[in-house]
Chains A and B, each alone.
Chain A
Amino acid sequence: MAKVNSEYAIETISLTKIFPDWWGRAKVIAVDDLNFKVRHNEVYGLLGPNGSGKTTTLKMLLNLLHPSKGRAMILGGVSGDTKITERIGYLPEDSYLYRYLNAKETLDFYGRLFGLPSKIRRQRIETLLEMVGLTGMANRPVGTFSKGMARRIGLAQALINDPELLILDEPTSGMDPISTRQMKDLFIHLAKRGKTILLCSHLLADVEDVCDRIGILYGGKMQTEGEVKTLLQKSDESQIITDALSDDALAKIRQIVESEQSKCEISSPVDRLEDFFVRTVASAQQQHVPTSGAVNTATIGGFLVEESDKEHGVLEKLVTATVEEDKPIAKADVGTERVEAAPVNEEKSSLLDQLAGNKLEQVETDQEQAEEIEHIETVEEVNRALLDGLAGTDDKNSATEHTKRDNPQEADDA
């Protein structure tokens, strides 16, 4: 699929944007002599605080703004060229949809702009709507959608042309944690299928979980750039993750560590709020609590994976598949080192499976449900134990035995 006709998917050369005031005098230097490159099949995260020039950079890449100086190359050309824009999917910072069109008409409109034949358009609209969980709301005007739902349609339109390069501006803003998780999983999945993604966000967790490489912008300048793994790795600390240990075993470990002249903090791991939230909603969905909002599905548009994933065929369930292939992705505490992440509790990963919706629910047996309840109880017990532990110590930082990879700072503070 990916036609590589240039070394980089995105390349900027001294890209500069100066916003003049009404009199034409330079007022704001939004982007200042920016040079950055995104390789093909890479997930690149552009980070920065508000007003650091992220969105301006994207707009220059998309020809929505003209650079004051320098060039922005995209897929080996400039984005004004329709041959290039054909291969790009763009999700702006806000969804900017036509409020009077319904979900289906919206996707149909953008599909037409790509000149897709009606048959393909119909198929893709159907799969995309299912993928973003809005099949039931296909005929509702998008003006009546909540921000998160509009975001889903926004994402669907960005994928309608099966793009080679995805440019995403704050993709998860306004989305609930479950959708955020799913969206991140989707990005990882798309990246695996050979797509290049430029993700622009100030939500660090999003970027950390999906990006291969990041660049941090401040004042329109690139402050630092590199691989997430390298940037965040702490080579002067070690981390061991085990099942719950007896006091005796812990004492032994402490002894060993002390004999090595090192410091050691032991505690039970704290669950992330994201995981806790996902679990709660999952159990509500299982009890068929009615909702007027979007339904969480875990399917992925067949057309997005077919060509680059012939050996697997159409991947029906992203989450299930992910769990089978790389279990860590289903877990929130995996971070970027998903391949070599710690072993995952099977029960935990099945939580996301429940969000996969009806298909999965139907096959679930009573036994599995019993396991699930048991699991939730276990987790709550752990939480309780942890709270007790916290009450007994003055240290407000919850130093854990299972120090999280994506929270190295915590262990440090401890």
Chain B
Amino acid sequence: MHKVWAVARNTIAQAVRMKVAVVVIVLLLVVLPVMSFIVVGDGTLVGKLQTFASYGMSLVGILLCVLTISMSAYTLTSDLKLKQIFLVVSKPVCRYQILIGKFIGIAIIDVVLLVVFSSIIFGLLVAMPRLSDAPPHEIETADREFFTARIGLSEQIDRKEIEKVAIKRYQELERTGQLPIDMSPARILKELQGQERLKRRVIESGAQKVWEFENVRPVAGTKVVFVRYKLRVSGGYEGMQVKGAWLIGDQRNQEQFGPGVWDSPIYRLDTSDVLEMFHEFEVPVDAITDDGYLAVMFNNLFVNSATVIPEEMEVLYKAGSFGANFTRVSLMLLARLIFLTALGVSLSTWLSFPVTILVCFVIFFVGTVNGFVLDSFGYIEAKGIMVLYNFTFKPLLWLFPRFDGDFNPTRFMISARLLSWSFLGQVYGTMVALKSLVLLIIGFWIFSNKEIARTIV
């Protein structure tokens, strides 16, 4: 262990003396505070906080990733290239100890830098409401909608049911000979599913839709839960806003026992919402029944004379504190950095510096758009290619890290969403314990069998 630590210390010294580290650190130290003052967002305090959290965390995340990639790709390749490794491997050190030392050294730098920059962002975020001249109600809103950690329940879509209906419609079209000839069957099915999904969401003028949520269990002492949504209208609507009436509460008994027999109070809210933007309103917590049931009904008023399509309907409730959530968000970023460290160190056992850094960046960018890549390949139509894709590229994509979607820490910050310990554990399990370990083991194997002084003649 002492020997591993010696190598780690040396790696830290090497990285600290690398100019790129200093540049990144200075850049962040200047940019972050400046950014906290100049961001505006949508003009409200919450908007400002969200914008800063989003840009700040993304910037720190990307720069630290770039720094980690360059450090981990540099440390071993430079030792090999400048032959300093001759003196190290001829000492009583096992080669795996050298690799672990390098890995630990860079991981330590990552931890230190992440702690420093996360603390700076956290400090700035906490200070922003006080430094800004926002009215008290905005500060209150910020406390409720930003400085918290909420769980979001979204509407359940019955996929199986949709698939079934789509197949039925397909068969119907086939029977009547109405299948479009220029589309493959898979594409037609997909299209039909999409239509069915949309059909379930649309609310005609004057009609209503109920969303039912189960297992809504906010932490004790919570006074309100939030409903978050976005509205869209189907074509031809001139206005910018739609009017709606919301009824929230358990209305199940109404059908059975007639009007007025309810398990919970029913709240009514009239809204006039700008289209294509997220909106949130509060619901007193007693609208939720004891068994955790909450129903939300939207009435598309006649006055709109438009078909409304609500999107990304969610019920949000507080489930943790902002500080703890922020810590977990930072830890999620750390998992990413640790993976990249293992990747760089592992690749540099057999690739030169330029190649290592190139491969690392490719993997990093594929990781950041992993979902997009997967989706785009989902549309491959030719059957032969699809099989090839399923057996070659798809498993490889699993090996690739995922940095987007649910694995993007910034997302949790912006909508003040709870990042649970169990999800974080899952991320560490796959990204650190599994993928990083596999990479390091491959690296050990290559490095142990490597001819250090080898030259190709």
Contacts and interface: CB of A to CB of B under 8 A. Distances in A.
Interface of A: 19-22, 27-28, 59, 62-66, 79, 82-83, 85-86, 88, 90, 92, 94, 96-98, 100-101, 105, 109-110, 112-115, 157
A147 to B, nearest CB: 15
B392 interface: no
B20 interface: no
A66 B92 contact: no
B86 A96 contact: yes
Given A83-B92, A96-B86, A100-B14, A66 B6 contact: no
Interface residues on B, range: 20 to 34
Nearest to A30: B457
B327 interface: no
B442 interface: no
B10 interface: yes
Given A63-B89, A100-B17, A113-B88, A19 B3 contact: no
B348 to A, nearest CB: 17
Interface string B94-109: 1000000000000000
A64 B457 contact: no
Contacts of A157: 87
A82 B456 contact: no
B2 interface: yes
A98 B10 CA distance: 9
Given A19-B455, A21-B457, A112-B2, 15 more contacts: A21-B456, A59-B453, A62-B86, A62-B90, A63-B90, A65-B453, A85-B91, A86-B92, A100-B14, A101-B10, A101-B13, A112-B3, A113-B7, A113-B92, A114-B92
A20 B13 CA distance: 37
B59 to A, nearest CB: 28
B96 to A, nearest CB: 12
A65 B83 contact: no
A86 B90 CA distance: 9
A96 B17 CA distance: 17
Contacts of A63: 89-90
Interface in B10-36: 10, 13-14, 17
A92 B92 contact: no
Contact of A92 (B87, B91, B451, B456): B87
Contacts of A113: 3, 6-7, 88, 91-93
Nearest to A113: B91
Contacts of B175: none
B93 A28 contact: no
B84 interface: yes
- Report, nearest first, the 6 A-B pairs whose CB atoms are least far apart: A112-B6, A82-B92, A64-B453, A113-B91, A100-B17, A86-B92
Contact of B84 (A59, A88, A90, A96): A96
B454 interface: yes
A21 B454 CA distance: 11
A98 B457 contact: no
A399 B291 CA distance: 115
A83 B82 CA distance: 27
A62 B90 CA distance: 6
A97 B84 contact: yes
Given A98-B10, A98-B14, A64 B90 contact: yes
A173 to B, nearest CB: 15
Contact of B86 (A20, A64, A85): A64
A66 B13 contact: no
Contacts of A27: 457
Which residue, of A19, A28, A63, A64, has the highest number of chain B Cβ atoms within 10 A?
A: A64
A57 to B, nearest CB: 12
Contacts of A114: 91-92
A21 B456 CA distance: 6
B210 to A, nearest CB: 67
A85 B452 CA distance: 16
Given A19-B455, A21-B457, A109-B6, A115 B13 contact: no
B90 A88 contact: yes
Contact of B83 (A86, A90, A94): A94
A90 B87 CA distance: 7
A157 B91 CA distance: 10
28 contacts: A19-B455, A21-B457, A22-B456, A59-B453, A62-B90, A64-B451, A64-B453, A65-B451, A83-B92, A85-B90, A88-B90, A90-B87, A92-B86, A96-B82, A96-B84, A96-B86, A97-B84, A98-B13, A100-B17, A101-B10, A101-B13, A105-B13, A110-B91, A112-B6, A113-B91, A113-B92, A115-B2, A157-B87
